[in-house]
C-alpha cells in the first residue's frame, strides 16, 4: 500500500469503527481493525487454497515429523480460537524453513523448518505465530485495506476524470487493490501482533513462551548463514530484526503470566 493512503485508511477505519460497520477487535491485543470479509468467506478461501496446495506439493510421510506436528498442532488447536475451524496439519516435502496457516484452521509445515525450529516449543512458536495471523484475521484486514486504498485510488481517478470529462474507473481499481493483497503479505504491525499472540497461545498450551525469542534468534542466524541462497517466504515476509525480538520480550510478562511449567 502506498504510504500516502495511510491517513485515509486510518480515517476510514476510524469512521467504520465509530459506525460499528465492518469493525472488529483483535482477540488478546484488543486492537480495532476494519474487516469487510466474514469468517465463513475467509474459511472457504483457506480451504480451497489448501486443497490446491495438497495437490501441487509433495506431502511428507516422515513418521517422526508427522507425529511431532500432529502433537503440537492438537495441543495448540485447543487454545486457539480460529473461526469456522476444521483443523488440519500437513507436513510438506520442502527444504525451505517455512510454515503457513490459512483461514479455517489449515496449517502447512515444510520439512525444512525442523532445522530451525529444532525442538517442540520452537515448532509451537512457529505454528502459534502463523495461526495467530488467522485468529487476528490479518488476511481479511489486508484485503479490506486493499479495497479502501483501491477506492481511494479510484476516487482520485474519478475526480480527475470528472475534470477531463472521461468516465470513472472505480470498480476495476477497487478490485485491483484487493487482488494485490491476496498474496498474504502481512504488515509489520500484523507480524508483531502475531508474535505477541503466538507467545500467549504457546503459554496456554504449556510450552515455554520464551522459546519464541530463541526461535527468532535461530531464524536470524540461519538467514546470515544462508545469505547467498534464495530468501524463503517466511523470512521475506517476516521482519527479522532487533525490533521483533525486543517487542516480543516487552510482551513476554503477559505470556509468562499464563505459563505453568509442566
- Please say whether the beta carbons of 34 and 141 come within 8 A: yes
Q: Is position 130 annotated as part of the catalytic site? A: yes
Which positions lie near Zn ion, rule CB under 5 A? 191, 194
Q: Cα(185)–Cα(179) distance, rounded to whole angstroms? A: 12
Longest dimension (CA), the chain: 70
* CB of 28 or CB of 191, closer to Zn ion: 191
CB of 132 to Zn ion, least distance (A): 8
Q: Cα(95)–Cα(111) distance, rounded to whole angstroms? A: 6
Residue 30: which of 258, 256, 251 has the closest Cα? Answer: 251
Q: Which of 28, 130, 141, 191 is catalytic?
A: 130
CB of 167 to Zn ion, least distance (A): 40
First-to-last C-alpha distance (Å) of the chain: 44
State the DSSP H helix or E strand holding residue 32, giving kind and residue range, or none if neither.
strand 32-34
* CB of 16 or CB of 69, closer to Zn ion: 69
* CB of 141 or CB of 191, closer to Zn ion: 191
In order of 202, 206, 233, the CA distances from 66 in angstroms are 19, 20, 22
Q: Enumerate the H helices of the chain as residue ranges.
A: 6-18, 39-56, 63-77, 114-117, 120-135, 138-164, 170-181, 188-205, 211-225, 233-236, 242-250, 252-256
* CB of 54 or CB of 184, closer to Zn ion: 184
* CB of 131 or CB of 194, closer to Zn ion: 194
- Please say whether the beta carbons of 114 and 96 come within 8 A: no
CB of 6 to Zn ion, least distance (A): 20
CB of 186 to Zn ion, least distance (A): 5
CB of 173 to Zn ion, least distance (A): 28
Which positions are annotated as active-site residues?
A: 130
Amino acid at each position: 500500500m502506498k504510504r500516502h493512503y495511510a491517513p485515509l485508511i486510518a480515517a476510514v477505519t476510524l469512521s467504520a469503527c465509530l459506525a460499528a460497520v465492518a469493525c472488529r477487535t483483535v482477540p488478546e491485543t484488543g486492537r480495532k481493525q476494519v474487516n469487510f470479509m466474514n469468517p465463513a468467506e475467509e474459511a472457504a478461501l483457506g480451504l480451497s487454497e489448501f486443497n490446491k496446495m495438497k495437490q501441487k506439493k509433495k506431502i511428507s510421510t516422515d513418521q517422526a515429523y508427522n507425529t511431532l506436528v500432529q502433537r503440537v498442532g492438537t495441543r495448540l488447536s485447543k487454545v486457539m480460537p480460529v473461526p469456522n475451524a476444521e483443523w488440519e496439519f500437513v507436513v510438506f516435502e520442502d527444504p525451505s524453513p517455512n510454515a503457513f496457516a490459512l483461514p479455517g484452521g489449515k496449517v502447512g509445515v515444510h520439512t525444512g523448518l525442523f532445522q530451525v525450529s529444532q525442538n517442540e516449543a520452537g515448532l509451537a512458536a512457529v505454528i502459534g505465530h502463523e495461526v495467530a495471523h488467522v485468529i487476528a484475521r490479518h488476511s481479511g484486514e489486508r484485503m479490506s485495506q486493499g479495497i479502501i486504498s483501491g477506492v481511494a485510488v479510484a476516487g482520485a481517478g474519478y475526480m480527475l476524470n470528472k475534470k477531463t470529462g472521461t468516465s470513472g474507473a472505480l470498480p476495476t481499481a477497487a478490485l485491483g487493490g484487493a487482488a494485490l493483497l491476496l498474496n498474504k503479505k502481512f504488515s509489520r504491525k500484523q507480524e508483531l501482533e502475531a508474535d505477541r499472540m503466538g507467545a500467549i497461545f504457546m503459554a496456554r498450551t504449556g510450552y515455554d513462551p520464551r522459546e519464541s525469542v530463541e526461535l527468532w534468534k535461530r531464524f536470524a542466524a540461519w538467514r546470515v548463514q544462508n545469505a547467498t541462497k534464495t530468501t524463503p517466504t517466511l523470512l521475506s515476509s517476516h521482519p527479522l530484526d532487533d525490533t521483533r525480538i525486543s517487542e516480543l520480550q516487552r510482551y513476554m510478562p503477559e505470556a509468562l503470566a499464563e505459563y505453568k511449567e509442566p
